[in-house]
Amino acid sequence: MINNGKEPKTDTLAETDNYMVWKAEEPDGEITYHIELNNLTLHFFEEEWQEFIELVSNLK
């Protein structure tokens, strides 16, 4: 679904006192994922996010 607004639609996926993971639906329809770790934010496109989730799921 394409968001026709000028601002991205955001959803918080997970949050603790110090960290947050959220996704944004950009006006052009692109989905991006963001991980905020204190003052560091990591940004992922959909394909990168899927690979990151696969990587994290292999942690023990």
Q: What is the pLDDT of residues 47-60, one digit of tens each?
A: 999 999 999 999 98
Structure tokens at 1: 């679904």
In a domain, 35, yes or no: yes
Which residue range(s) make up the domain with 34? 9-57
In a domain, 37, yes or no: yes
Q: What is the pLDDT of residues 1-60, one digit of tens each?
A: 565 668 999 999 999 999 999 999 999 999 999 999 999 999 999 999 999 999 999 998
Q: Three-state DSSP class for 53?
A: helix
Number of domains in the chain: 1
- CA-to-CA distance for 44 and 21, rounded, in angstroms? 11
In a domain, 4, yes or no: no
In a domain, 29, yes or no: yes
Query: Residue 45 has what pLDDT?
Result: 97
In a domain, 3, yes or no: no
Nearest to 33 by CA among 12, 54, 7: 12
